[in-house]
Amino acid sequence: MADILRKSPVQFDAVPTQTEVRDYWKVALAYDDEGSGPYLVDLSHKVRLDLQSATLADFRPFDIPVPEMPGQCTLENGVLINRMNRTQAAVWQLTEAGAPMPEDPAYTDVSEATVFLALFGPKAFFIVEKLSALDFLDPGKTTPFLLQGPFSHVPCQLVALEKTADGDGGILFTCSRGYGHAMVHAVMEAGAEFGLRPAGEKRFADWVGSLAG
């Protein structure tokens, strides 16, 4: 029997110029003429885990401690851990090769059930402000940090990875899979005046690498 490809809920109008199949996902690595940013990248093939336990402090996903307070995030070795509330955290694997799924039943793989996008680059937060009233540019918050609430009227988890006073930087965000098409349309429309374009995973990897460096 032929292998069945896993399909992202995200569809851009542009066609990628470089792709590869990874863990049965067709991954867009690059698009023609991606420009100088801002960018929107589909990361739906990346592994996302939901961790729920009354004793979160006892867990170390991929040997990384769970942040102590809701809204706090930790980014180490390509793994982003977001504390959501007293009993729940999200674990997002950002590298090309994800680590094996933990065996503990407290973890649930939600990759297939959600959309995962990155919006980053010059003036990225000008686009974010058009789509959400959440205050990503609060000077009292240090990146990375998690906000939960409506983005383009859709309940989302959103993490600010980088921000500047000029509105540069970017966010990662996830929401229910069923909103994928409408979400991409809304973000691309909001970003049109700033030159927002779809980009591939290579562009995202360069950005995350620059933050780690």
Q: What does the pLDDT look like over 118-127, one tens digit per residue?
A: 999 999 999 9
Reading the block at residue 128, the tokens are 């974010």
pLDDT band at 1 (very low <50, low <70, confident <90, very high): very low
CA distance 99 to 89: 17
pLDDT of residue 102: 85
Q: Report long-range pairs for 24-33 (Cβ below 8 Å, ≥24 apart).
A: 27/201, 28/198, 28/200, 28/201, 29/200, 29/201, 29/202, 30/199, 30/200, 30/202, 30/203, 31/197, 31/198, 31/199, 31/200, 33/197
Is residue 137 within 8 A of residue 125, CB to CB? The reply is: yes
Give the CA count within 13 Å in the CB-facing half-sphere of 203. Answer: 28
pLDDT band at 98 (very low <50, low <70, confident <90, very high): low
Answer whether residue 4 shows pLDDT above 80: no
| Other beta carbons less than 10 A from residue 16's beta carbon | 18
CB proximity list for 200: less than 8 A, separation 6 or greater: 16, 18, 28, 29, 30, 31, 34, 41
Please, what are the domains in the chain?
38-44+113-202 (3.30.1360.120)
Reduced to 3 states (helix: H, G, I; strand: E, B; else coil), residue 38 is coil
Q: What does the pLDDT look like over 48-87, one tens digit per residue?
A: 999 999 999 999 999 999 999 999 999 998 999 999 999 9
Reading the block at residue 163, the tokens are 């921000």
Q: What does the pLDDT look like over 150-195, one tens digit per residue?
A: 999 999 999 999 999 889 999 999 999 999 999 999 999 999 999 9
**Strand residue runs (E) in the chain:** 16-22, 25-31, 39-42, 48-52, 73-76, 79-83, 88-93, 107-109, 114-121, 145-151, 154-163, 169-176, 197-199
